[in-house]
Amino acid sequence: EVQLVESGGGLVQAGGSRRLSCAISGFTFDDFDGDYIIGWFRQAPGKEPEGISCINIADGSGHYADSMKGRFTISSDNAKNTVYLQMNSLKPEDTAVYYCAAEEWGFCPDPRDSAIRVSGSRGQGTQVTVSS
């Protein structure tokens, strides 16, 4: 069973940075036992979930939603079985619960429309609050 645990959230001032971590168990990045994609999403109160970025574990290639390009960077550490989301120049509108999800044999991005879609296990999320 694949399990994901996010960490790194908290309160940050506008203009600041934060790095979120997604620690994954249930498969090992380096063992190539399956072809996984990992995605980062966020959901603000009263809003629909929003895809931020995804990464192909097999080759480390990442993709970003158009609205997220420039301020967010996804990366992975195979030795730690962890995916990161570096967030810079944060704005109050970035306030949300951020969560990661994993899917075996998924597509990053979705070839139909280049959207960030990950159907599979997800973590509980970590709250990021950006103060003005």
Tens of pLDDT, residue by residue over 68-103, are: 999 999 999 989 999 999 999 999 999 999 999 999
Q: Reply yes or no on whether the pLDDT at 34 is more than 80.
A: no
Task: Give me the residue label for tokens 């993709």.
Answer: 63
**pLDDT class of 32 with cuts at 50, 70, 90:** low
- In what helix (H) or strand (E) does residue 54 lie, and over which residues does it extend? strand 50-56
* C-alpha dist (Å) from residue 43 to 31, 64, 94, 108, 121: 32, 16, 9, 20, 16
**pLDDT class of 33 with cuts at 50, 70, 90:** low
Q: Determine the pLDDT at residue 116.
A: 95
Q: Determine the pLDDT at residue 27.
A: 85
pLDDT tens profile 35-79? 899 999 999 999 999 999 999 998 899 999 999 999 999 999 989
Two tokens at 7? 């960490």
CB 84 within 8 A of CB 77: yes
